[in-house]
Each structure stands twice: as structure tokens, then as C-alpha cells.
Amino acid sequence: MADLIFRPATREDFPAIRELIHTVGINPTGLDWRRFLLAVTGTGVLVGCGQIKPHKDGSRELASIAVREEYRGRGVARALILRLLEGQPRPLYLMCRARLGSFYNQVGFRPIGLEEMPPYFRRIARLIRVFNRSVEGGLLVMRLD
């Protein structure tokens, strides 16, 4: 990981961000290159990305955390997340596959129930419960105070 550079995205990075998000199979909505932090190699290859995404209800979400498969297990996601969280006001929320809950616990997020969720996450959580039972292990909404 020592050879990686962490930097804000540029407009020119957007096609690579979108491609990585699709490759790893996470939600492709709300991708705005201006909010993204990237991990790139010294030769400029995109290795990982993430963003803090604002919602209309005032909540903010750690979102779009994606790392190329060949770079997983090297601390790239954790480094991206820690850099994204620097100086961010709390609370912050995230939605993830349940199997990733313990990973996000390590950086301070905790699972929350419907009663603690802001309106955006409550609405999404209810829709997922009704319409999408195909996510293996289910989804978690988590909060960082």
C-alpha cells in the first residue's frame, strides 16, 4: 500500500469510478465525482474509491467504498475510510451487507434499528425488506457518532 496515492477525484476520473462501482456490484446511484476520494497507483490506475454522500433529510452517508479485487486485504478500504472520515461532522451513516458489519465496527460504526435511522435510511430499509430479499445475509444500516 506504500505505493498508493490518496487524492480527490477529478472530472476525468468519473468513468473509472463508475466502472469500479459496477465491477464490485454496489449501488451506482448518487455518484458525483466531486465527493470522491481515490486510491491510485503511482501510474494513475484507480485501485479504490469512496465518498461522503449528503441526503435531502440532512443525513450524510459513507458510501461507494470499492476496492479492486486484486488489492483487497491490503488495508486500502480502511485507509480510504479513515481519510474520508477526517474532519467530518457526526453522525455519519452507512448501509452495507450484513457480513461487512464487523469491518465497519472496527472504524467506529455500530448497527442501528429503524427507530434510530434518519428518514432517508428508514425509507430505504423498509423498501429493501419488502422488495429485495436477494441480498445474501441482508443489509445493515450503521451509524458513527
Q: Report the helix count and the strand count for the chain, using DSSP H and E.
A: 4, 7
Residue 136 is predicted with a pLDDT of 57
At which residue does the C-alpha cell 467504498 appear?
A: 65
Give the three-state DSSP class for 33. helix
Q: What pLDDT does 135 receive?
A: 53
Task: Quote the pLDDT of residue 127.
Answer: 84
What does the angle CA 103 – CA 104 – CA 109 come to, to the nearest 5 degrees? 150
Is the separation of the CB atoms in 82 and 121 below 8 Å? Answer: no
Residues of the chain with pLDDT under 50: none
Question: CATH no. for residue 94?
Answer: 3.40.630.30
Gap between the Cα atoms of 53 and 82, Å rounded: 15
Number of domains the chain is built from = 1
89: DSSP letter = P
User: Which tens digit of pLDDT belongs to each residue from 130-144?
Assistant: 766 555 568 899 999
pLDDT tens digits, one per residue of 13-31: 999 999 999 999 998 989 9
pLDDT recorded at residue 1: 64
Q: Which domain holds residue 60?
A: 5-144
